[in-house]
Amino acid sequence: MASKSHQFNFNPLIFLLLLLCLSVAGISAAGNGGGIAIYWGQNGNEGTLAETCATGKFPYVNIAFLNVFGSGSTPQMNLAGHCNPASGSCVSLSADIRSCQSRGVKLMLSIGGGIGTYSLSSKLDARNVSLYLWNAFLGGKSASVFRPLGDAALNGIDLDIELGSSQFYDDLVRYLKSYCGRGQKVYVTGAPQCPFPDRQMGSALNTGLFDYVWVQFYNNPPCQYTSGNTTNLIKSWNQWTTSIRAKKIFMGLPAATQAAGSGFIPAEVLTSEILPVIKKSPKYGGIMLWSKFWDDQSGYSSSIVSGV
């Protein structure tokens, strides 16, 4: 087959936008301090999104969950008792989103979760889902796409893929990272289970394109804290931080004993025995907590924030 030559047309506007996104990416990745990431959205009694950000304790908030997507399905979002995205009652969250971002908080839409119907059937399906996320929640805009949270743009997408096939999430990540709008990069974060490699997210993580990875070091006894023993937890942490090409890695924990089946770490153990060890890693980003509701019950974040 004869080769065909292609003429490249330089577009200075697109070039400047690309430079802006790259510069924003460089600035945002520069911080080295630890912080607490938290999941919000799965209990109507956990306070508002704006109130969560106003505590000043959480530089990262994952809004959970978009739990139906892909394979030709109509995307659906579940925000428990907060509001009903399908009815349009969540568009008022745009005010909360802007309030959070004015405080420097990064907001991600978490897709997946432990309950839902989601999968990607092909690379094209991954592209279509990425376009939906871009236009419905991020910096894009389309007359044919409803924005469930209103016109404010979130900072990125969090992958909490716990069900179904692992296929094509690497393509989804690549598509998401190719978008840029409103002077913002698209952050991509993820919450794999601690057994390494994660069977659902392994191929996606291998792209090396994740900004933050908050590994769930709970509900998995072989790689979590157990009855006063930190050995398996630290061993697993070291494996993750030396094997995954992500900008920062966080230790994901339940914020209360009731928040998970196992893996809760008493605050005094975390601050005295574990944080001093894991903070030695250049990949250390902080702690992730599930969830805002359980943290309200336990006060866990207040007990650890000064040491994170």
Catalytic residues: 162
Residue 193: CB atoms within 10 A of its CB come to: 21
Peptide bond preceding 291 in cis form (omega within 30 of 0): yes
Q: For residue 76, with 0-12 CB atoms within 10 Å meaning exposed, 13-18 middle and 19 or more buried, which class applies?
A: middle
**Secondary structure element (H or E) that encloses residue 21, with its range:** helix 12-28
Cα distance between residue 257 and residue 266, in whole Å = 9
Question: Going along 11-84, which residue ranges are E strands?
Answer: 35-40, 60-69, 76-77
**What is residue 277's three-state secondary structure?**
helix
Cα distance between residue 18 and residue 27, in whole Å = 14
Residue 135 amino acid letter = N
CA neighbor of 154 nearest in space, from 94, 112, 219: 94
